[in-house]
Amino acid sequence: MKKVLLAFDGTNFSQGAFEFAKRLNEQEPILLVGSFLPQIEISSSWSYAAGSMGVVMPLVEDFNSAVIENNVAQFESLCGKHGIECRVHTFPYDLAIPELRKESRFADLLVLGGESFYHQLGFEKPNEYLRMMVQDAECPVVVTPEQFTFPQSVVLAYDGSDDAVYAIKNFAYLFPHLAQLDTTLVHATTKKHARMPDAEYITELVARHYPRLTVRELEDTPRRLFGKWLADMPDPIVVSGAYGRSDISMMFRQSFAAEIISEHKLPLFIAHRA
């Protein structure tokens, strides 16, 4: 049994994130911990992390505890309906993000509802918030859109980095059922005549965990063409390492995570070493 942490902001209940957790429970029983974070803490932490100046902080009075109570009740009701063992954790506004980070240390997986977070906070560049959450988390993270098809295939984004390999291995360890799906190991680069780094090593490893494996090298491929290629895949979940400096990491940086969630309506698995 795995422990899955499901994080909600104070005013939004992410049906997409809950649906992903529910489907995991159908494959193998999990302990689902609902962490309900006040809106003020998320917003202020992002502003601080982004290094912005002159940000107007929301007032404590704006925080609506009744909304959180309703979301907690909905969470407990849905867990009972679907036979999911659950726990509920709530935090005061000034401790929420540090406590979420601590909780992730004691969890196998953190699930975030990407669209609801973005909608509530109104970021022009929501990937910066996502990056903060992913980098702070001490366990792998799945970010889901609100409406999506549960994964029917897996795309492993590989750039030769340690973090990419780490994410690929951790996905297989966490989701052995999903690792049995059709899987594409893809190395994408904007350069011509570039080869997959350590191709022999990575294919030896990945083939052991993903038996239905296809290997693709997409050279001279800008991000928009990678997005088109990705859109042709059958309902994938995208597996990515943390944000690095190589070609595919630059491709996955900036607005890539937001595009995966909002435009392609795909769940995204991200893992990095502490």
Domain end marker among 94, 110, 144: 144
114 and 182 within one domain: no
186 and 53 within one domain: no
Q: At 201, is the pLDDT very low, low, confident or very high (cuts 50, 70, 90)? A: very high
240 and 117 within one domain: no
Kind of pairing between the strands at 141-144 and 268-271: antiparallel
130 and 15 within one domain: yes
163 and 52 within one domain: no
Domain end marker among 121, 144, 167: 144
Question: Mind listing the pLDDT tens digit for each residue in 58-74?
Answer: 434 455 678 888 999 99
Question: Mind listing the pLDDT tens digit for each residue in 26-40?
Answer: 999 999 999 987 764
CA angle in degrees (0–180, nearest 5) for 246-136-15? 100
90 and 179 within one domain: no
Please determine, for residue 94, whether its predicted confidence score (pLDDT) is greater than 80: no
Hey, how many other C-beta atoms are within 10 angstroms of the C-beta on 67?
17
Q: At 202, is the pLDDT very low, low, confident or very high (cuts 50, 70, 90)? A: very high
Identify the CATH number of the domain in which residue 163 sits.
Answer: 3.40.50.620
40 and 165 within one domain: no
Find the range with the poorest average confidence among 101-105, 158-162, 251-255.
251-255
Looking at residue 151, the DSSP 8-state letter turns out to be P
Token pair of 116, please? 């609801």
208 and 116 within one domain: no
Q: Which residues of 129-164 are buried (b: 16+ CB within 10 A; e: fewer)?
A: bbbbbbebbebbbbbbbbebebbebbbbbbbbbebb
17 and 128 within one domain: yes
What does the alpha-carbon distance between residue 93 and residue 111 come to, in Å, rounded to a whole number? Answer: 20
140 and 178 within one domain: no
Look at residue 9 in the predicted model and tell me its pLDDT. 73
Residue 231: closest CA among 193, 198, 263 = 263
The SS3 call for residue 43 is: helix
| pLDDT, mean of residues 167-172 | 96
Provide the domain limits for residue 163: 153-271
200 and 138 within one domain: no
Name the domain count of the chain: 2
99 and 129 within one domain: yes
Question: Mind listing the pLDDT tens digit for each residue in 122-140?
Answer: 444 544 555 667 678 899 9
Domain end marker among 144, 175, 190: 144
